[in-house]
Amino acid sequence: MLIFDSFPDRAAAERFVAAVKKQFGLGATVHDSPDESSAIGPFPFALFPPVVLVERASIEWDRTLEHFVERFGGEFAGT
């Protein structure tokens, strides 16, 4: 999973998820709290909601998404 956080609001996170699904065909979900997203898998670092989890596809797409998120006001948090 690729982890993105620090979006300005849930609407921005949802726009990012929709764009990821449309442009890259990857699964992605929005979570409103670190506890909710940690239910999928524990993360060893602090996350700032809303949190988006995106399935991994390839190293090239991973790097593209790390920069693509900036359009939506979020940040790449890790994998």
Q: How far is CA 10 from CA 58, 61, 65, 66, 68, in A?
A: 26, 23, 18, 19, 17
Q: Which residue has the tokens 């797409």?
A: 61
| The total number of structural domains that make up the chain | 1
77 contacts 65 by C-beta, under 8 angstroms: no
**Between these two residues, 37 and 66, which has the higher pLDDT value?**
66
pLDDT in tens, 21-49: 999 999 999 998 766 656 666 666 778 88
Mean pLDDT score of the chain:
87
Indicate whether 33 belongs to any domain.
yes
pLDDT-derived band at 57, boundaries 50, 70, 90? confident
Indicate whether 54 belongs to any domain.
no
Indicate whether 35 belongs to any domain.
yes
Q: Which domain holds residue 8?
A: 2-41+61-78
Indicate whether 47 belongs to any domain.
no
Look up residue 38 and give its two tokens. Answer: 């940690």
